[in-house]
Amino acid sequence: MDLDYSPDERAFREQVRAFVGANLPPALSAKVHGGKRLTRDDYLSWHRILARQGWVAPGWPKEHGGPGWTAVQQQIFDDECAAAGAPRILPFGVRMVAPVIMRFGNAAQKAHFLPRILSGEDWWCQGYSEPGAGSDLASLKMRAERKGDHYVVNGQKTWNTLGQYADWIFVLARTATEGRPQEGISFLLVDMKTPGITVRPIRMLDGEHEINEVWFEDVKVPLANLVGEENKGWTCAKFLLGHERTGIAGVGPCKRELKHLKEFARAERASGRPLIEDARFRDRIAQVEIELMALEVTNLRVLSAEGEKRAPGPEASILKIRGTEIQQTLSELKMQALGAYGIPYVPEALDGGWDGDPVGEDYAAPVTGHYFNMRKTSIYGGSNEIQKNIIAQMILGL
| Residue range 124-155, pLDDT digits in tens | 999 999 998 887 888 999 999 999 999 999 99
Domain boundaries, the chain: 7-89, 124-231, 249-394
Give me the percent of the chain exceeding a pLDDT of 90.
Answer: 60
State the catalytic residue, choosing from 244, 296, 306, 315. 244
Fold for 124-231, please state it: Butyryl-CoA Dehydrogenase, subunit A; domain 2 (2.40.110)
pLDDT surpassing 60 at residue 15: yes
* 130/301: higher pLDDT: 130
* 198/4: higher pLDDT: 198
Helix %, strand %, coil % of the chain (to 5)? 55, 15, 35
Rounded Cα distance between 373 and 352, Å, is 19
Contact present, 310 and 373 (Cβ < 8 Å): no
pLDDT surpassing 70 at residue 358: no
pLDDT surpassing 60 at residue 203: yes
Q: What is the mean pLDDT of residues 243-261?
A: 86
Confidence of residue 1 (pLDDT cuts 50, 70, 90): very low
> In whole angstroms, what separates CA 228 from the centre of its chain?
24
CATH of domain 249-394: 1.20.140.10
Q: Residue 189's pLDDT is what? A: 98
Over residues 18-45, the pLDDT tens digits come to 999 999 999 999 999 988 889 999 999 9
Rounded Cα distance between 228 and 251, Å, is 32
User: For residue 384, which amino acid is it?
Assistant: N
Instruction: Choose the CATH number for 7-89 among 3.40.190.10, 2.40.37.10, 1.10.540.10, 1.10.2020.10.
Output: 1.10.540.10
Confirm whether 244 is a catalytic residue. Answer: yes
